[in-house]
A and B are shown apart, each in its own frame.
Chain A
Amino acid sequence: MGKYLSKKITIYILTFFIAVTLDWAIPRFMPGNPISILVSRFSALPNARKVLTSYFTQSFGLDKPILVQYLNFWKAFFHGDLGVSVYLYPKPVVDIIKESLPYDIALLLPSIILSWIFGNWIGALAAKNRILDKTLVPILYVFTAMPYFWFAIIIAWILGVVIPIFPISGAYSYSMTPELSWTFFFDFLHHWFLPFLTLFVVMLGGWAIGMRNMIIYEIEANYSRYLESLGASDKMILRYAFRNAVLPQVTGLALQLGTIVAGALTTEMVFSYPGIGYLLLQGILHQDYFLIQGCFLFIVLSVLAANFLVDLVYVLIDPRVRYSYTEGA
């Protein structure tokens, strides 16, 4: 167990270091300069742009040699400082992420988990029921093939315009501000529902199809046939098949959970939903090195954390992994 963990942790640290370095470097290869982009639209007084560009380039440290900038980044990073956003100057990147993250989590966590649970359940059902397999699976294929933004537009049009029962933009009414009250809570839920539904339906299709195919494969596997020839009940065979089939699904779940920071970008765009997705896009358009870096850092961290979690879970749910590290090997 200790050996398993130490090997995994070393790999994760190395991955983290390389990923973050890339994440630091890539925005800086883009042509253009974030400071001059920001002051470009400001034209109050003659010559103002020139003065501003030079001052802020210095104050963001962008005039320093590239290696010094890189070292400064790590120095600040270990102090928990991700820098100040250029696009939302003078707001620290950490604060921006802190404000947007709850919206992403509120949207993605329920839709990922619920669609995973329901998807696996429907998939397993479909695998052993021929009628269900014929009727449901084609629909699920349609679901999973739909791009998020496309389905979001359709659903916004149907439930927001044709039958206008749900609002189609924002996380809550423009006439409200966040507060702890039932009115706000229901208003929030009211706005939350359509983006949630979009993500839930599209993801559901994928999980269900995956599960169905895995179960069919496992039922056909040699160990299932052997069990069958020994006279085991269908229920018992299915139980074994399910335990094996769920393993790739768990990996998939981890990867999905990892994208929680920016996974809903297109859906958020359609519904004008505040979240990291929109900010990251703006950050890229404005070449805000610090904001891009910060957002990707969170993505890297959450993907790694989710994977690590799965590695641990694997030890629990897959005895083969456990044995390979404890015995022999």
Chain B
Amino acid sequence: MWRRLAIFAFVLLVAVGFATKFPRNETLYIGGGIWAPPSNWNPFVPWNAVDGTVGMIYETLFFYDPLTGKLQPWLAESGKWTDSKTFVVKLREGTNWQDGKPLTSEDVKFTFEIANKYKAFYYSGVWDWLDNIETPDDRTIVFHFSQPRYHNWLITMYTVPIVPKHIWDGKTQNEIFSTANENPVGSGMYKAEEWDQDKMVFLRNENWWGIKYFGKPAPKRVVHIKIFSNNVALGMILKGELDWSGFFLPGIPRLVKAYGGLVAWYNHPPYMLPDNVAYLFMNTKKAPMDNALFRRAVAFAINTNEIVDKVYEKQVEKARPSGYLPIPAWDKFYNKKLDEEYGFHYNPIKAGKLLDEAGIVDKDGDGWRDLPNGKPFKLEIIVPYGWTDWMESIKIIAKNLNAIGINAEPKFPDFGKYWEDITKGKFDMAINNFGSQVSMTPWTLYNYVVHYPITDAMYDGNFGRYDNEELFNLLEEINKTPLSEEDKLKDLFSKAQKILLTEMPAVPLWYNGLWFQANSSHWTNWPTEKNPYAYPCLWAGRWQVGGLKVLLNLKPAK
């Protein structure tokens, strides 16, 4: 009796099938942007909000397309500088919130003014140079500036999500920050439907204001799955359980050729679009890294091609010597001649010569070069433990440096220690890329690589604490120059680019890819090289840099 029952139970277990609540042909499964159980849908805490909160639920005024380098209207119909200190935004007709209330200029004004009332908002900084906001009618917002930072403002326009005043007004700063906002009311094409530890489910907003402008996204539901590891993601994308992946997956070059249904941007190297620049930061407060000759020698010593081939299987490309990403918005200000004249390439002999010139030679005969004063030195290169591609890369870099007589060693501390060390300046060399991603202006790259002012803790870049008054002044001037003055900007950017090349505060290594793989068995019309309608980015806070357009263009497979 018992045995029979047990067999029956077992058969039942095996046979129980794949009853589904979300019909497969209406559901898009994605992965790569959610790493923790969903716990927060607060647009004011985007650093912790579930991927999609900004973009899918809450929308920005503008949309930035890295492929064309253009800022495109989203909630806004237009935005322009009417004079050097006034920016006027017109909203589209018919914008509304998911609860049915209209989205007006008052909401935009509120979104910005709340960051002035309370100073701990991530965009509170704009009020250092923003003076006041007027709303002559319910479609028009007039921003008056005391001293506009044009480049910074441009970024603000496509990163700050607009929030409904009728829901957030009257709350204290603490109330605003500490709410999980479990029932987010945004204006976007998707609503938060449900979630559990493993996933976040978005349901299409059938009354989205944008349908008449952009059309309706085809997937009724978007299920964003939390996936622990690349291996699981790889298995799922091959099986078609995942439609869209934002993971770095080893083996893609082979698989793209073997599986007809697997899509990457290119079906040839580098397979992926470039997204950001991986930099080798050097602590310029420590000898010998305080010497530009030494830093340039390091740049010449590193064989980036080996990293590109061996670690990334050619899924990334070597960076330009100045670090400029090859995207239209940055190419406008990129000076190729300077890169050719002052740039670097892999050349260990030249690197050795630069070191000799700096007086960094082996004085005690132990096989390692010593400081000009005769003292030996040893450098550690750090990346966080578990970031396998970076770990392999710094092994190669250490090997390259050893080859020219620099005693360097790779180290893999836990992320917490890594971050503590680089932000507090307690490191020798480290790889980082937390601010070098595609944007509307190369100013963001400078603001990251040589961030200023230099303080005890550097959270926003310039981890090596490279100090150069002339460069900082240049960047300040660039920020204060409107993008319409292209010639003046070109000149300023060229000056800055030359300083980067000759001083080499950090070495640009390769362009980390916009990891993107898709399976076309359930959804088709993925963006690719031949169908480049959008930049396929599903990472947190960056749906308005491409992902939203992918959602609008997908078609169900027949």
5 A-B contacts (beta carbon < 8 Å): A44-B122, A49-B460, A53-B457, A59-B177, A173-B19
Name the residue on A nearest B115 (C-beta).
A51
Nearest-CB residue, chain A, relative to B201: A177
A117 at the interface (CB under 8 A from B): no
Contacts of B152 in A (CB 8 A): 45-46
Residue in A closest to B156 when the chains form the complex, CB atoms? A45
Binds B, one of A2-10, A25-33, A246-254: A25-33
Residue of A nearest to B18 (CB): A173
**Contact present for B414 and A285 (CB under 8 Å):** yes
- Asked if A272 lies at the interface with its beta carbon under 8 angstroms from chain B, I say yes
Confirm or deny: B100 has a beta carbon within 8 angstroms of a beta carbon on chain A.
Answer: no
Distance A34 CA – B415 CA, assembled complex (angstroms): 10
- Whether B373 is near chain A, meaning CB under 8 Å from some CB there, is no
Residues of B within 8 A of A43 (CB): 434-435, 437, 448, 460
CB distance from A288 to the nearest CB of B (A): 10
Chain A residues numbered 112-131 whose CB sits less than 8 Å from any CB in chain B: none
Chain A neighbourhood of B541, CB < 8 A = 42, 44
Which chain A residue has the least Cβ–Cβ distance from B14? A165
A187 CA to B20 CA, complexed, in Å = 10
Q: Among A87-95, A209-217, A228-236, A299-307, which stretch is in contact with chain B? A: A87-95
Residue of B with least CB distance to A287: B416
Does the CB pair A175–B120 fall under 8 Å? no
Residue among A39, A54, A90, A285 making CB contact with B415, cutoff 8 Å = A285
- A41 and B36 contact, CB distance less than 8 A: no
User: A40 in the interface, Cβ–Cβ < 8 Å?
Assistant: yes
Q: List chain A residues, Cβ under 8 A from B415.
A: 37, 285
The reply to whether A177 and B196 form a contact with Cβ atoms under 8 Å apart is yes
Q: Which of A259-286 contact B (CB under 8 A)?
A: 269, 272, 274, 278-279, 282, 285-286
**CB-CB nearest 3 A-B residue pairs:** A32-B416, A42-B47, A55-B120
Interface range for A: 35 or more
- Identify which of B21, B42, B174, B455 gathers the most chain A CB atoms within 10 Å of its CB: B21
How many Å lie between the Cα of A53 and that of B241 in the bound state? 38
Size of B's binding interface in residues, CB under 8 A: 70
**A296 at interface (Cβ–Cβ under 8 A)?**
no
Min Cβ gap B333→A in Å is: 17
Cα of A220 to Cα of B414 in the assembled complex, Å: 53
What mask results when residues 155 to 193 of chain B are scored 1 for a CB within 8 Å of chain A, else 0? Answer: 110011000000000000010011110000000000000
Query: How many Å lie between the Cα of A46 and that of B445 in the bound state?
Result: 10
Indicate whether A32 sits within 8 Å of B459 (C-beta atoms), given known contacts A174-B223, A175-B24.
no
Docked Cα-Cα span, A32 to B24, in Å, equals 44
Chain B 409-429 near chain A by CB (<8 Å), digits 1 or 0: 000001111011101000000
Determine the residue in chain B with the shortest Cβ distance to A278.
B228
Closest Cβ of chain B to A43, distance in Å, is 5
Residues 95-153 (chain B) with a chain A CB within 8 angstroms: 119-125, 152
Tell which of A34, A45, A190 touches B155, judged by Cβ atoms closer than 8 Å.
Answer: A45
Residue of A nearest to B435 (CB): A43
| A51–B12 alpha-carbon span in the complex (Å) | 56
The verdict on B48 contacting chain A, using a C-beta distance below 8 Å, is: yes
Q: Across the interface, which residues of B come within 8 angstroms of A51, CB to CB?
A: 119-122, 124-125
Is B40 in contact with A174, judged by CB distance below 8 angstroms? no
- Which among B16, B22, B434 has the greatest number of chain A C-beta atoms within 10 A? B16
Question: Does A38 lie at the interface of the complex (its beta carbon under 8 Å from any beta carbon of B)?
Answer: yes
Nearest-CB distance from B173 to chain A (Å)? 9
